[in-house]
Amino acid sequence: GAVVSQHPSRVICKSGTSVKIECRSLDFQATTMFWYRQFPKQSLMLMATSNEGSKATYEQGVEKDKFLINHASLTLSTLTVTSAHPEDSSFYICSARAATAVRQETQYFGPGTRLLVL
């Protein structure tokens, strides 16, 4: 149980285009989803916290107009990188926290999406 999927797993795009990444909780409902970015050989940095039905909370230094987050349902959150540039190339990972109280402490991570902007 507690499986989180991401799609696509890998994407290459041209500079200036927008890319949408989906994060789905497959067998549980997630009231909260988190988006992280990981540069090579570095740790995960939290970008934003997404609560179902409300606006995402962005971490300091993360541009909300560039990284659009939509959490439309209890099983789906999307991250759109708008007008992507080469410096946005990174590994994007989402995680989801279950709505049930018992498992609320633990986040379940997706497999990640590798974005390469040319």
Interface with other proteins (CB under 8 A):
4, 6, 32, 34, 36, 42-46, 49, 91, 93, 95, 97, 104-112, 114
For other proteins, give the closer residue by CB, 82 or 99.
Answer: 99
For other proteins, give the closer residue by CB, 40 or 86.
Answer: 40
CB of 83 to other proteins, least distance (A): 26
> 87: exposed, middle or buried (C-beta count within 10 Å: 0-12, 13-18, 19+)?
exposed
Residue with tokens 């994060």: 23
For other proteins, give the closer residue by CB, 25 or 95.
Answer: 95
C-alpha torsion sign, points 60, 63, 67, 68: positive
- The single-letter code of the amino acid at 79 is L
